[in-house]
Amino acid sequence: MSSGYPNIEALMNEGEPVCITLCDEEGETSEMLYCELVHRARHGEEFLIEDQRCRPGKYILGISENGPADYYLKSNRYMDMETAERAVNSLPRIEKNYRSIRIGPLGKNSGEFDVLLLYLKPESAMKIIQAYAFHHGEGITSRSIGAASICGDCTARPLLEGIGISYGCKGSRKHSGYANEEVPIGISYELLEKIERGLDTIPGTFD
């Protein structure tokens, strides 16, 4: 099935872009982490979940109201509770105004979705940013603290701001196994057509 985004798809070296869709269907509680589910969808699997087992992911996706500050502190990621709470408050977070999340490869998607998530080498990520700047004349806002990469930087942030790029986090790189030289990036559905046209127009994009 043609996705309508051949230029965006061509930037990924392995697997497919992943569609994230917030919906009202009944889903399952997954024993995998959100980042694991996304990475497996990259290689063709599909999931419909209402919950998953990553605690920071529960908070960021609006499933839980309890922030993971104590979890972060116990894992020695921050120097004290005040710093851990500040870190949690800096994370992007979406409201739970949906029932479930559909996660699947772009090639199996037949309708609209909310976020397209890609794993790119830095040069390809640069081209996405250039395609965005082609239309807007400005760069993207890139904020990351090395935590909550796939759920926060690349899902919640695009839902809130349109686009999000990340350097990954300890959890997602450990549990989902994407390559060390890859950076994940999320793009809201509303921006995809502009990004696709920008990639098609900017000289030398695929030379």
Contacts of 70 (CB under 8 A, 6+ apart): 81, 84
- The conformation of residue 98, written as its DSSP 8-state character, comes to S
Given a contact cutoff of 8 angstroms between Cβ atoms, the answer to whether 44 and 104 are in contact is: no
Place of tokens 């949906």: 98
Average pLDDT (9-24) is: 96
In a domain, 207, yes or no: no
In a domain, 194, yes or no: yes
Given a contact cutoff of 8 angstroms between Cβ atoms, the answer to whether 176 and 81 are in contact is: no
Q: What is the pLDDT of residues 101-159, one digit of tens each?
A: 999 999 999 889 999 999 999 999 999 999 999 999 998 877 889 999 999 999 999 99
Residue 166 C-beta-side C-alpha neighbours within 13 Å: 32
d(CA 8, CA 206) in angstroms, rounded, equals: 11
pTM, rounded to two decimals: 0.94
Average pLDDT (19-34) is: 97
In a domain, 1, yes or no: no
In a domain, 205, yes or no: no
In a domain, 206, yes or no: no
In a domain, 65, yes or no: yes
In a domain, 170, yes or no: yes
Judge whether residue 177 has pLDDT over 90.
no
113: amino acid identity, one letter:
F
In a domain, 42, yes or no: yes
Judge whether residue 6 has pLDDT over 70.
yes
Helix (H, G, I), strand (E, B) or coil at 62: coil
Q: Alpha-carbon dihedral of residues 88, 89, 95, 100, nearest 10 degrees?
A: -10
Domains: count for the chain: 1
Given a contact cutoff of 8 angstroms between Cβ atoms, the answer to whether 151 and 157 are in contact is: no
Nearest to 37 by CA among 61, 72, 3: 61
> Domain limits at 81?
6-200
Q: Which two tokens stand for residue 90?
A: 């800096």
Given a contact cutoff of 8 angstroms between Cβ atoms, the answer to whether 165 and 181 are in contact is: no
Average pLDDT (172-179) is: 90
Helix (H, G, I), strand (E, B) or coil at 183: strand
Band (1; pLDDT cuts 50, 70, 90):
very low
Place of tokens 């502190």: 73
